Amino acid sequence: MERPRCDVVVVGGGVIGLASAWRAAREGLAVVLVDPEPGRGASWAAAGMLAPVTEVHYGEEALLALNLASARSWPGFAAEVEEESGLPVSYRRTGTLLVAADEGDRAWAAELHRFQAGLGLEVEWLTGREARALEPALAPGVRAGLWAPGDHQVHNRELVGALLAAGRAREVVHLPLRVSSVETSGGAVSGVGLGDGTTIDCGAVVLAAGCRSGELAGVPAGVLPPVRPVKGQILRLRGPADRPLLSRTVRGVVQGQSVYLVPRADGSLVIGATVEEAGFDLTVTAGAVYGLLRDAQRVVPGVSELVLEESLAGLRPGSPDNGPLVGPSGLPGLVLATGHYRNGILLTPLTAEAVAATLAGREVPGELAGFGPDRFPVLAC
Ligand SMILES: Cc1cc2nc3c(=O)[nH]c(=O)nc-3n(C[C@H](O)[C@H](O)[C@H](O)COP(=O)(O)OP(=O)(O)OC[C@H]3O[C@@H](n4cnc5c(N)ncnc54)[C@H](O)[C@@H]3O)c2cc1C
């Protein structure tokens, strides 16, 4: 019997694989996306913040430039996904307010503001009173705020559904299976082996398996991406849709700990998240739920009135320098799209564009040039 064949197999259907598959299909390629549970990995757990300014970290200036470029792509990307899928993704341009709970946190926020201002980022220092004027539900004790009008949000779960539909509209075939191996012939990708024992022949494979990207059989050890799981526990609460507690994302610094509260249009509120090196553990702990609620309540006391609907853990695909690995790899035909760590939702548009460009034989967008898979030296054993 003849083996099934396509141009591209995408391994993994989180936001990165789904968007890459859709964009590749728009290039005219025949695409098969393989994932037993598309959209149920980190992309489901995430908060959906598109926040390059309030997420900026010392020493990550190159990543900041990439994040800012992807943030600029978001309005057009959201409109295209909605148009091709016929489904909403609730991209909201409501800005982000970072607040300091006590004097120590205020000093920390002032330092962050100096760093952000030095980078030319759009961010304004607010007194506690000015912050409360923007968000009246803030605690009376809040000391100061940083207002970042350009840090937006998207409903990541709606995004997953819309990307699946947009892919279907472009004839992306979804197989609800696991990819068990990448097959090679003459030193290049020739197909994939599937969990049910069958195979698909193809000329290219896009490895977008999130935190599992570093363990696919058949990929040479020096080519497998150095990606690891970084656990994040996160909560979803519900309040009345007609009287939302907050109208924009609030990030709190509480005795040096970070917490964020992301309000959705339907009255729900996402509160996150822990950052833990705990392997592939997806358990939810009492201590994490307690800590998140305690810190959230410290900056927005009304949180205690809301209904706790969900607590879950997700695994971010972390990389050694916190930047993604996107583009052609050392195995001809294998394209990497992984390692997006805490910015995968934000980086979806630019990543998908880069994957489609690579598959079509074009250069990746300039902002991603420094994030090629070959930037990590292979350690000799
Ligand atoms: C708590 C939390 C909060 C976050 N908040 C934000 C945020 O606010 N903003 C932001 O930008 N980012 C955020 N992130 C990060 C973001 O969620 C990730 O970077 C992003 O979702 C990664 O997408 P992905 O498609 O690479 O991985 P995933 O969404 O994890 O998808 C990987 C997919 O691969 C599939 N898979 C694995 N192995 C195989 C295989 N062998 N065969 C077939 N399929 C396979 C899995 O089933 C899964 O569906 C958050 C993450 C967490 C955990």
Q: Which domains does the chain have, with CATH numbers?
A: 5-44+158-226+320-375 (3.50.50.60), 96-149+229-318 (3.30.9.10)
Q: Would you call the peptide bond into 204 cis, given omega within 30 degrees of 0 as the criterion? A: no
Indicate the DSSP class of residue 217: B
Give the position of tokens 């989180």.
Answer: 14
| C-alpha of residue 102 to centroid of ligand 1, in Å | 34
Give the position of tokens 């998908």.
Answer: 352
Ligand 1 pocket member 215 (CB < 6 A): no
Closest by CA position to 51, among listed 299, 261, 241 = 261
Per-residue pLDDT band at 20 (split at 50, 70, 90): very high
| C-alpha of residue 206 to centroid of ligand 1, in Å | 15
Structure tokens at 48: 């959906």
Per-residue pLDDT band at 209 (split at 50, 70, 90): very high
Query: Mean per-residue pLDDT for 73-87?
Result: 98
| C-alpha of residue 142 to centroid of ligand 1, in Å | 33
Question: Who's near 150: CB < 8 A, 6+ residues apart?
Answer: 52, 53, 71, 95, 122
Q: State pTM to two decimals.
A: 0.97
CA 315, CA 182: separation in Å to the nearest integer?
Answer: 23
- Substitution candidate for ligand 1 out of 32, 228, 316 with most atoms within 8 A of CB: 316
Ligand 1 pocket member 272 (CB < 6 A): yes
CA 125, CA 142: separation in Å to the nearest integer?
Answer: 13
Structure tokens at 318: 């972390």
| Secondary structure element (H or E) that encloses residue 130, with its range | helix 128-134
Checking if the pLDDT of 380 tops 70, the result is no
Residue nearest to atom 16 of ligand 1 (CA): 344
Percentage of the chain lying above the pLDDT 70 cut: 98
Ligand 1 pocket member 230 (CB < 6 A): no
Per-residue pLDDT band at 378 (split at 50, 70, 90): low
**How many CB atoms are located within 10 Å of the residue 155 CB?**
22
**Cβ atoms of 318 and 63 closer than 8 Å:** no
